Amino acid sequence: MVQHLRVTYNDIHNLIRERTPQIVRDFNPDLLIAIGGGGFFPARVMRTFLREETGKKTMQIQAIGLSLYEPIEGTTAQQIGHEVIRTQWLGPECLKTLVGRRNLIVDEVDDTRKTLHYAISELWKDVEKELLSYPEEERAALRDATKFGVFVVHNKLKAKLAEIAADTPYFSGADVEDLWLDYPWEAINIDEHDRLAQSDRA
Ligand code: 5GP
């Protein structure tokens, strides 16, 4: 049986608070790209701490939807869990703004790493397409100035099925064992979830 670990909103909030100063120091993002649905809440919380840490104005959060585990309409049973499926992507105006900026991709958990690998490689393809609209002599400098970083609340310590390039800064709130994490936003009864999380701890 897969072991579960219940995580509370406060656990997540505090992990993000602890990691944000390092993210500002080492990456200093201009834009957050949340992978939905698990990355939405962490990205919103991170925005609070980025603002606190930098004093800069509220950062934009853009969203992409990727699904590896969830059965969604239109997918076959064979696709689920093997392929990353796009359910939502950045619009043309937003894709333009990735060029020359430091874009931090936010998700709740890095399990097999397939989703993060897919997100980074597809976003780079989009940046390459956008670069074609710039004069050729400007492209190399703009490509160099474009950065993607990754923040996940939890990174599972396990053999990964995909890689993230070494030049992509990677931050995790916590490295955890290979357990199934139960997130608070999936709970039907949040009081019961929090109570069980406390008793697990005890
Ligand atoms: P990966 O592509 O790294 O295998 O997994 C990405 C997605 O799988 C995550 O964004 C998340 O939606 C789901 N996932 C993986 N492990 C867990 C887990 O332990 N708990 C929950 N709730 N979702 C998970």
pLDDT in tens, 31-57: 999 999 999 999 999 999 999 999 988
**Whether residue 197 has pLDDT greater than 60:** yes
The DSSP secondary-structure symbol of 132 reads: T
Query: For ligand 1, atom 20, which residue shows the shortest CA distance?
Result: 181
Please give the DSSP secondary-structure letter assigned to residue 85. Answer: E
* pLDDT at site 42: 98
What is the set of domains in the chain, with CATH numbers?
A: 21-174 (3.40.50.2020)
For the stretch 141-193, pLDDT in tens is 999 999 999 999 999 999 999 999 999 999 999 999 999 999 999 999 999 99
The residue whose C-alpha atom lies closest to atom 16 belonging to ligand 1 is 111
Is any ligand 1 atom within 6 A of the Cβ of residue 68? yes
174/155 Cα distance (integer angstroms): 6
30 in active site = no
Farthest-apart Cα atoms in the chain, separation:
61
119 lines ligand 1 (CB under 6 A): no
User: Ligand 1 atom closest to Cα of 182?
Assistant: 22
The type of residue at 144 is D
pLDDT band at 133 (very low <50, low <70, confident <90, very high): very high
Give the pLDDT mean for 89-93.
Answer: 97
DSSP state of 70: S
Contact 107 CB / ligand 1 (< 6 Å): yes
- The residue that leads in pLDDT, 144 or 2, is 144
Whether the predicted model's global pTM rises above the 0.85 cut: yes
Q: How far apart are CA 109 and CA 153, in angstroms?
A: 6
Interstrand relation of 85-88 and 4-6 (parallel, antiparallel or unpaired): unpaired
The predicted-structure confidence for 70-81, as pLDDT tens digits, reads as follows 566 776 665 656
pLDDT at 77: 61
Alpha carbons 45 and 52: distance in angstroms, whole number = 11
